[in-house]
């Protein structure tokens, strides 16, 4: 599940989104990483050979070290100024509003959980977009 946070301003919109993980995910991943590293160190000590750490075991240890430093990345996007948009696609079924410049396959996608916010944003767009902007209601397929 992806979490979307929007900041709507009179000149443009800002989007912050990230994948949702449970609160324990970071600790869980770090626990797995520590367990993998300890298993390989134990097997190396048991066999008495450092050569065991060459090859697949080395790759697994590197992956475990990356898991130790894991953080959920937050992505940021910014829309163009509202005056540059010419088209708006409204998908009421999926509660999405997409603003476009010229190519209707690309645009700034706004997703909503509630129809109240959906309608507020749509009314806001009617006030800030150019009067020549075309509003089209259809299913968004991209």
* Residues 101-129: tens digit of each pLDDT: 887 777 888 999 899 999 999 999 999 99
Whether this prediction's pTM lies above 0.85 is answered by no
**Torsion angle of C-alpha atoms 113, 115, 121, 124, degrees rounded to 10:** -170
In a domain, 14, yes or no: yes
Same domain for 90 and 115?
Answer: yes
Residues 79, 123, single domain; the answer is: yes
Pair (63, 115) in one structural domain: no
Residues 83 and 118 in one domain: yes
Residue 79's Cβ-count burial label (10 Å; 0-12, 13-18, 19+) is: buried
The pLDDT tens digits for 48-89 are 777 766 777 777 778 887 878 878 899 999 988 988 888 999
Number of domains in the chain: 2
Residues 40 and 108 in one domain: no
- Rounded CA gap, 18 and 1, in Å? 9
pLDDT of residue 44: 78
Q: In whole numbers, what is the pLDDT of the chain averaged over residues?
A: 86
DSSP state of 18: E
Share of the chain above pLDDT 70, in %: 99
Q: Sign (positive/negative) of CA torsion 52, 57, 58, 62?
A: negative
Worst-scoring range by mean pLDDT, 17-21, 35-39, 51-55, 127-131? 51-55
Q: Do 6 and 57 belong together in one domain?
A: no
Q: Is 30 a residue whose pLDDT tops 90?
A: no
**What's phi and psi for 61, nearest 5 deg?**
-65, -40
Q: How confident is the model at residue 31 (pLDDT cuts 50, 70, 90)?
A: confident
Residues 43 and 90 in one domain: no
Q: What is the pLDDT at residue 93?
A: 92
Handedness of CA 60, 62, 65, 66 (dihedral sign): negative
The SS3 assignment for 66 reads: helix
Name the residue range of residue 119's domain: 2-20+74-137
């Amino acid at each position: 599940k992806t979490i979307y946070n929007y900041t709507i301003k009179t000149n443009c919109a800002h989007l912050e989104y990230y994948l949702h993980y449970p609160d324990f995910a970071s600790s869980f991943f770090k626990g797995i990483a520590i367990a993998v590293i300890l298993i390989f160190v134990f097997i190396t000590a048991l066999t008495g050979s450092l050569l065991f750490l060459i090859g697949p075991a080395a790759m697994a240890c590197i992956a475990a070290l990356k898991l130790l430093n894991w953080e959920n990345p937050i992505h940021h996007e910014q829309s163009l100024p509202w005056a540059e948009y010419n088209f708006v696609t409204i998908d009421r079924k999926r509660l999405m509003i997409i603003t476009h410049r010229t190519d209707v396959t690309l645009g700034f996608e706004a997703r909503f959980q509630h129809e109240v916010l959906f309608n507020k944003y749509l009314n806001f767009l009617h006030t800030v977009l150019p009067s020549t902007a075309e509003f089209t209601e259809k299913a968004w397929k991209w």
